[in-house]
Amino acid sequence: MKYAIVESGGKQYRMEEGANLKVDRIHAEPGTDVLLDKVLLVGNSEGATAGQPYVSDAKVACEVVEHGRDKKIVVFRFWRRKDSRKKQGHRQEFTRIKVKSIQA
């Protein structure tokens, strides 16, 4: 089983062929193909190849499935003895992708 560690949106994701992942929003229309080239590590059952910082000539081909927004989280700040508080909500946007192939 071939896998890759890819950087996208400032975060790192472990990707395998055929997997569906939820990553930070990518500006591409659903149904289009996206090529992720910031590959940090490529591995299989025999071993792994790490990059410095990226593996040269390694790419992960993905298809954008859909866009969406996560569940709402509440950010609540409270200052004691000051009679002051702040409540704020946030919904993070995401893109669901399907990994088609890993080229290394």
Q: pLDDT digit string (tens) for 63-102?
A: 999 999 999 999 999 999 999 999 999 999 999 999 999 9
- The yes-or-no verdict on residue 104 having pLDDT over 90 is no
pLDDT tens digits, one per residue of 25-41: 999 999 999 999 999 99
- The yes-or-no verdict on residue 19 having pLDDT over 90 is yes
Q: Which H, E and C letters describe the chain, residue by residue?
A: CCEEEEEECCEEEEEECCCEEEEECCCCCCCCEEEECCEEEEECCCCEEECCCCCCCCEEEEEEEEEEECCCEEEEEEECCCCEEEEEEECCEEEEEEEEEEEC
**CA pair distance 63, 99, nearest whole angstrom:** 7
- The yes-or-no verdict on residue 1 having pLDDT over 90 is no
pTM of the predicted structure, to 2 decimals: 0.85
